[in-house]
Amino acid sequence: MPISVHPSVEELAALLRLPDFSEVYAQADRVRARHKGDVVQIRAILEFSNVCRRACRYCGLNCRNEKIARYRMEPDEMIEVAYAANQAGYRTIVLQSGEDPHYTPEILGEIIRKIKETGMAVTVSCGEMPREDYAYLRRCGADRYLLKHETADEQSYRALHPDGTLKERVECLRHLKALGFETGSGFMIGLPGQTMETIAKDLLLLKEIGCNMAGIGPFIPHPDTPLRDHPSGSTELTKRAVALARILLPKANLPATTSLGVLNNGEKNDVFSCGANVVMRKVTPDRYKQLYEIYPAKLSPTHVKEDRLELEEQIRALGRIPL
Ligand code: 5AD
């Protein structure tokens, strides 16, 4: 069943519900091969602050969680890690944090300028900011920005985000696009109240924004959040959403999200055969890494160079080319 270029919510929801999704997976894999080739791009991610002013109900870093120790990395240390990542072969570094007002545009801009001297692409993922701050970071050399819309359902967005609206989030994404950032959004699978129609709307929003990147991952409950008792999102449904994102956005960069934990589960239908072409590896120093707990995960110690080599091997074992 060929998928139309402009599918409706109903059409996408029906696809997500298919008893057998294998044809859609195969189509997504063909689209990926045609538009992105066999390369899997490896990105370094540095989680430089877990301080956050927002109270998102699914996230372990939410400001109401008093159980985690908060940290902030010094700019010099961040730059040092970025240089080590560059030495290890990374061509992109993602600078991610909670929404932490301590890092003013001036501070972030200076860090970006120094990292750009390596020639690496710099992706920023620090939440919502006024347009002029995004513009400033862009002028400092930031190439890309990640800001997931999390859910395209307005009511659900409101319930999950006590201090923001979907409209504001989408507005930020439109600013980023207009400023010339490679712009990434994305959403979670398995949020309370989510239906196939919600996921269909999430996919259509990615397209409407014109996303260059989209991260789609399963929700994982964190014990110190209001959603502690809500079950994890389905990995199968996550892969279906990634496959449809690939078909809708043939040229987009789609990461195998960390929460999907693809490389370890050995499943045949791994996410790299469902349309994904990017993977991120943490380069966050160990003393901070455990504290960046958006959701619970087993983390191994960071060895920037060795971790990258290991990941390259895993990618080659899948018949793909690490870059
Ligand atoms: N489970 C899975 N993903 C989560 N995120 C935040 N909290 C959770 C959770 N409990 C995702 C959001 C955010 C990204 C950094 O992590 O999509 O954009």
Number of other CB atoms surrounding residue 245 within 10 Å? 26
pLDDT at 289: 96
- What's the average model confidence in pLDDT over 209-238? 96
- For residue 196, pLDDT beyond 90: yes
Taking the alpha carbons at both ends of the chain, their separation in whole angstroms is: 34
Residue ranges lining ligand 1, Cβ < 6 Å = 58-59, 148, 150, 188, 217, 219-220, 222, 259, 294-295
Centre of ligand 1 from the C-alpha of residue 280, in Å: 14
Percent of the chain residues topping a pLDDT of 70: 97
Number of other CB atoms surrounding residue 286 within 10 Å? 12
129: three-class secondary structure by DSSP: coil
Ligand 1, closest atom to CA 221?
10
Identify which has the larger pLDDT, 300 or 152: 152
pLDDT at 267: 56
> What is this structure's pTM?
0.95
Ligand 1, closest atom to CA 220?
1
Centre of ligand 1 from the C-alpha of residue 185, in Å: 12
Query: Strand pairing of 255-256 and 278-282?
Result: parallel
Give Cα 81 distance to the centre of its chain. 20
pLDDT at 257: 85
Residue whose CA is closest, atom 7 of ligand 1? 59
75: three-class secondary structure by DSSP: helix
Domains belonging to the chain, first-starting first, are 18-322 (3.20.20.70)
Query: Strand pairing of 255-256 and 121-125?
Result: unpaired
Ligand 1, closest atom to CA 225?
10
Mean pLDDT across the chain, nearest whole number?
Answer: 95
pLDDT band at 270 (very low <50, low <70, confident <90, very high): confident
pLDDT tens-place string over residues 33-52: 999 999 999 999 999 999 99
- For residue 5, pLDDT beyond 90: no
Residue whose CA is closest, atom 3 of ligand 1? 219
Nearest to 307 by CA among 285, 278, 290: 285
Ligand 1, closest atom to CA 218?
2
